[in-house]
């Protein structure tokens, strides 16, 4: 069984469109994250939710909006897509009892290409 899953795996779309990426974890974890990996492989946190509450919101454009319907799901909606949004987006989860201490487990990634 997949621990952290993301859909879709690949997403190709035109500039200006709105798209969503879905993430689900079956590990029973309390905290979920979105990371962006750019073309140089650099990984940066975007958002984090703990028990459906937003706890991290890095300097990300307002066009990006996370939504957590329950603690097993964290979706990422992107409005008005721009060329610079092309990247690989990773979802992750952890059982946070001590922030920073707990291992984050990552999904397979969603490669977003904006044309």
* Contact with other proteins (CB under 8 A) among 22, 45, 72, 77: 45
* Contact with other proteins (CB under 8 A) among 90, 93, 112, 114: 90
* Contact with other proteins (CB under 8 A) among 21, 29, 48, 112: 48
Give the Cα separation of 85 and 67 in Å (integer). Answer: 18
Q: How far is the CB of 53 from other proteins (least distance, A)?
A: 11
**Per-residue binding letters, 58-87, with other proteins (x by CB under 8 A):** ------------------------------
Q: What per-residue string of b and e applies to 71-91 under the rule 16 or more CB within 10 Å gives b?
A: bbbbbbebeebeeebbbbbbb
Q: How far is the CB of 104 from other proteins (least distance, A)?
A: 6
What is the pairing mode between strands 19-25 and 105-106? unpaired
Helix (H, G, I), strand (E, B) or coil at 85: helix
Give the Cα separation of 93 and 2 in Å (integer). Answer: 13
Q: How far is the CB of 51 from other proteins (least distance, A)?
A: 12
What is the pairing mode between strands 110-114 and 10-13? parallel
Interacting residue ranges for other proteins, rule: CB under 8 A: 31, 33, 40-45, 48, 50, 55-56, 88, 90, 92, 96, 98-109, 111
């Amino acid at each position: 069984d997949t621990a952290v899953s993301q859909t879709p795996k690949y997403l190709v779309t035109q500039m200006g469109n709105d798209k969503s990426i879905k993430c689900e974890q079956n590990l029973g974890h309390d905290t979920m994250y979105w990371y962006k990996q750019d073309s140089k492989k650099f990984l940066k946190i975007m958002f984090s939710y703990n028990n459906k509450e937003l706890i991290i919101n890095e300097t990300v454009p307002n066009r990006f909006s996370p939504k957590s319907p329950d603690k097993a799901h964290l979706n990422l909606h992107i409005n008005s897509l721009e060329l610079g949004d092309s990247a690989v987006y990773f979802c992750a989860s952890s059982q946070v009892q001590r922030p920073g201490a707990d291992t984050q487990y990552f999904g397979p990634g969603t490669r977003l290409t904006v044309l």
